[in-house]
Structure 1
Amino acid sequence: MKYFLATVLTKGKKEQIPIYAKDKIDAQNIAKMKSTGILIKVVEANEPFEAQFSRFQKDFLKNIKKKKIKPDALIASIRQLAVMTNAGISIYDSLSEIANASEDEALKTVFSKLADDINSGHSLSRSMENFRFELGNLTIAMVQLGEKTGNLDEALYSLADMLEEIRANIIKFKKAMAYPRNVMIAMAIAFVVLISYVVPEFKTIFEELDAELPVPTQILLTLEHLFNNYGPYVLAILFGAFMIFKYLINNNKQIKYGWHELLLKTYLIKNIIKYSTLSRFTLVFSELIRAGIPIAEALDTSIDMIDNLPLKIKLQSVRITVEKGGNLNKGLKDTELFENMIIQMVSAGEDSGTLDTMIKKVAEYYKMRFDAIIDGLSEAIEPIMLFIIASMVILLALGIFLPMWDMGNAVQGR
C-alpha cells in the first residue's frame, strides 16, 4: 500500500486526508467515499514517522487478533449463499441473513461488512479483497469467475466442493501427522524433565571434578542453565520473535518471497506446496476456460489465488507468453514446473480445441499426486522423527556418561 494525501474542500475550508491505497486512482475513489466535500487533488507523499509507527502497531495487533473463518462455517455459508442466489434473493439480503444466522463470530463480522459494501455499490469480489486472509484466495478467485460468467450460483457450488476437498485433505494431513506429533511431544517433555531435574544432579558431581568436560556435557549444562534460570525469558523471546517474523512475512514482500523460496527447497514440504498449488491452479483455470473466459484473463484469475510467491511469479510468465502470441504449452514448459507429459496433453488440447477438458485432466492428475503425498506422509516423516529422537538420546547419553567414564578411568589410574 502507498501513502497519499487527498486535498478536499469542505465548507469553504481545505483539509488533507491521509489515505493508503494501491495507486492514485484507488486513492481518489477512497477519498470520495471518505469525504462529502469537493476533491481538489490527490498526491503521493512520504509517510510520516508517526503514521508509520501507528500503522506498524495497528498491523501487528491485527495479525494477533484476526482469525480465519472456521472451514465448516465457511463451507456451509458458501452453500447457503449459492442456494439463495440461485433462488433469486439479492446478494445483500443473502449476506445479511447468513451473518445474522451464523454462530461463527469471524464469519458474522466478515459477511456483515460484505453486505454493507454491497449496499454501497461495490461488487462482491471487490469487497472480498479486504478479507483475503479470512476468506482465502480460492474463494475470491471463484467469486470473480461467477461474476465474469454471470453464473455466480454455479461458481459458489463449485467453490463449496473445492473447499470441502481441501478440508478433507487437511483432515487426512492431521491424521497422518498425529502419531509423529504425539511421539515428538512426548520426547520433548521427557527431554525438558531430564534437563530440568536430572542434569542438575550430575552438575554438582561434574563441578567437583574440576576437569575439562566433553562437548555434549557442556551443551547439556548450557541448556540446563538456560532452562532453569531464564526459561520464561527464553519463551517470551521466542514468542516475540515468532510474532515479529509473522508480521514481516505478511507485510514485507522480499522476506515473504525468501521464506516461500526456502519452503520450496525443504524436504517433503516442497512437494506438498507444489502439488497442492498446481492442483488448485489447474482446477480453477479449467473452470474459467470451460466458462468461455479468454486464456490470458483466466490465467490472471487463477494466478491471483496462489499463495506461494516464487510459484506465482513463474506462472505469471505464462500469461506474458500468451499475451505475446505464444502457445499455452510453451509458456507452461518455460516455467519448468510441469512434466513433459502435461505439456503434451495441453498441446493436444490446444490443437483439438478441447483445452478445458485436458486442463481438467491435468488438475485430476495433480490432485492424485497430492493425495498420494498426503497418504504416504507418515512413512515419509519417519526418518526425520527417528533422526531427531536419536540425536536427543545420543546427546543425553554422551553428555552424562562420557564424564563418568573419565571418572572411572581416573580412579583406575588410566
Structure 2
Amino acid sequence: MPTFQYTARDMTGKSVQGSLEAASQREATSLLTGRDLFPTKIAEQASGAGLSIFGKKRKKVKGQVMATFYGQLASLLRSGVPMIRSLTILGEQSSTPVLGEVLAEIRGRVEDGEPIGDTMGRYPGVFSDMAVNMVRAGTEGGFLEDALDRVGVFTELQEDLKGRTVSAMAYPVFLFTIGSVVISALLVFFVPKFDMLFDRLRQKGEMPAMTEALLGFSNFLQGYGWILIVMAIGMIIFFRQQLQTDKGQDLFDKIKLKVPVLGDILMNLSVARFCRVLGTLLANGVPILKSLDISRTATGNRLLSQSIADASENIRSGESL
C-alpha cells in the first residue's frame, strides 16, 4: 500500500507533519480528518513510491487466475454493476492475496479519477501490455465488456498452450539433466579408477584416440571443473542482465524467430494473436492507426511489434493497409 507524506494542522492550528499508509490520496485525507487533522499538503512518499513500484513489478499472478478475473469483471459490468463495486467484489472474493491487494489499490486510484487502463498499467507483473491496451481501447470506444471477454479468452488460450508446451518439454529436459549429471559423475569419479589399465594401453601404443580424448576431458573436469561451473553461472547472470535491456530483448526475439521449426510456430502464433486483436478493435469502430498501435503489443515479439509500427507510419503517410 502506498505511503503518503502529509502536512496538516490540528485543532489548535499547530502544524503537524508525518506519514501514513493508504490506498489512495482520498483515503489518506479521510484518515487524517478522522484524527482531527486538517491536511494542507498530501503527497505520495518518494522512497515509498519507488519501493511500491518495485514491488508491483515483482507481483505475479497466474495466467489462469487472470483469465477468470477478466471474464468475471466483464460479466459484472455487463450486468450493470458499477466499476468500483465490481472491483470491490472481485477483490474481496479473490482467492489470490496478491490479486486482492492489487485490486484494492486499483479501486482507490479509480475512485480518485484515474482511468482503469492507466491504473492497470502500473502493475506489469499482473496485467500484460495487451490487456492494458485492450482495456484502454474498450474504455475509449465503449466496448469495455467485450474487450475484457476477449482478453480473458486470449489469456486462457495462451496458458493452455504454455501448459502443453511445458508438459511436452518436461520429459526431455528431465532426461537431459539426469544424463548430464550421470555422465559428469562417471568422468570425474569412475573413469580415473582405470588409470593403471589406460597407462598400460598407452605404453603399448594401443590407446584409441577417442579414449585418449575422453581421459583428457576427465582430467580437465577433475582439475578445472569448478571453472566451468563458475563460467556457466556467470553466463546465466550475463544473459539475464542482457534480457533486461531493449537491445538484449530485441536480439532474443530475433533469435526465437530464427530457430528451426519453433520459429515458424512462434511466428504463426504471434500473427494469429495480432490479427484477432486487430479484428476485434476494428469491429468495434476503433480507428485503424490506433488499432494497429494497440494490437501490435499482442504479438509478444518486439521485432514483429516494430514491423507493425513501421507499417503504421506508412499508413499514416497515405499507403494502404
Q: Which TM-score tier does this pair reach, normalised by the shorter chain?
A: 0.7 to 0.9
Residue matched to 1:19: none
Of residues 235, 253, 256 in structure 1, which corresponds to 2:249? Answer: 256
For the pair 1:176 / 2:174, whether they are aligned, the reply is: no
Structural mapping, 1:5-404, within 5 Å = 36=41, 66-202=58-194, 214-227=212-225, 230=226, 234=229, 238-239=232-233, 241-250=235-244, 252-328=245-321
Q: Which amino acid aligns with 2:240?
A: K
SS of residue paired to 1:326: coil
Distance 1:108 1:243 in 2: 33
Q: Which amino acid aligns with 1:308?
A: N
SS of residue paired to 2:318: coil
The C-alpha deviation readout for 1:244-263, integer Å capped at 9, x for no partner, is 5324322x212221222222
SS of residue paired to 1:179: helix
Distance 1:100 1:182 in 2: 40
Q: Which amino acid aligns with 2:229?
A: V
Task: Compute the displacement of 1:289 (Å).
Answer: 0.7
Task: Compute the displacement of 1:291 (Å).
Answer: 0.5
Task: Compute the displacement of 1:189 (Å).
Answer: 3.1
The C-alpha deviation readout for 1:381-411, integer Å capped at 9, x for no partner, is xxxxxxxxxxxxxxxxxxxxxxxxxxxxxxx
Residue 292 and residue 218 in structure 1: after superposition, are their counterparts in 2 closer, same or farther (change >3 A)?
A: same
Task: Compute the displacement of 1:285 (Å).
Answer: 0.2
SS of residue paired to 1:135: coil
Percent same amino acid among aligned pairs? Answer: 20
Task: Compute the displacement of 1:313 (Å).
Answer: 1.1
Q: Is the 8 A contact 1:289 1:295 kept in 2?
A: yes
Residue 94 and residue 199 in structure 1: after superposition, are their counterparts in 2 closer, same or farther (change >3 A)?
A: farther
Distance 2:68 2:117 in 1: 19
Q: Which moved more, 1:183-192 or 1:280-289?
A: 183-192
Q: Which moved more, 1:192-201 or 1:289-298?
A: 192-201
Q: Is the 8 A contact 1:140 1:305 kept in 2?
A: no
Q: Which amino acid aligns with 1:127?
A: T
Q: Is the 8 A contact 1:199 1:224 kept in 2?
A: no
Q: Is the 8 A contact 1:200 1:224 kept in 2?
A: no
Task: Compute the displacement of 1:240 (Å).
Answer: 5.7
Residue 321 and residue 207 in structure 1: after superposition, are their counterparts in 2 closer, same or farther (change >3 A)?
A: same
The C-alpha deviation readout for 1:164-223, integer Å capped at 9, x for no partner, is 222222222223323323332332232233234213324576679699984443223223
Q: CA RMSD in A?
A: 3.5
Q: Which amino acid aligns with 1:164?
A: E
The C-alpha deviation readout for 1:246-283, integer Å capped at 9, x for no partner, is 24322x21222122222222223322321111111110
* Runs of at least 5 residues in structure 2 that lack an aligned partner in the other structure: 1-39
Residue 223 and residue 267 in structure 1: after superposition, are their counterparts in 2 closer, same or farther (change >3 A)?
A: farther
TM-score, scaled relative to structure 2:
0.72
Residue 207 and residue 73 in structure 1: after superposition, are their counterparts in 2 closer, same or farther (change >3 A)?
A: farther
Task: Compute the displacement of 1:239 (Å).
Answer: 4.5
Residue 245 and residue 95 in structure 1: after superposition, are their counterparts in 2 closer, same or farther (change >3 A)?
A: farther
Distance 2:134 2:196 in 1: 65
Q: Which amino acid aligns with 2:87?
A: L
Q: Is the 8 A contact 1:68 1:135 kept in 2?
A: no
Residue 37 and residue 71 in structure 1: after superposition, are their counterparts in 2 closer, same or farther (change >3 A)?
A: closer
Q: Is the 8 A contact 1:137 1:306 kept in 2?
A: no
Q: Which amino acid aligns with 1:154?
A: D
Residue 89 and residue 205 in structure 1: after superposition, are their counterparts in 2 closer, same or farther (change >3 A)?
A: farther
Task: Compute the displacement of 1:112 (Å).
Answer: 2.5
TM-score, scaled relative to structure 1:
0.57
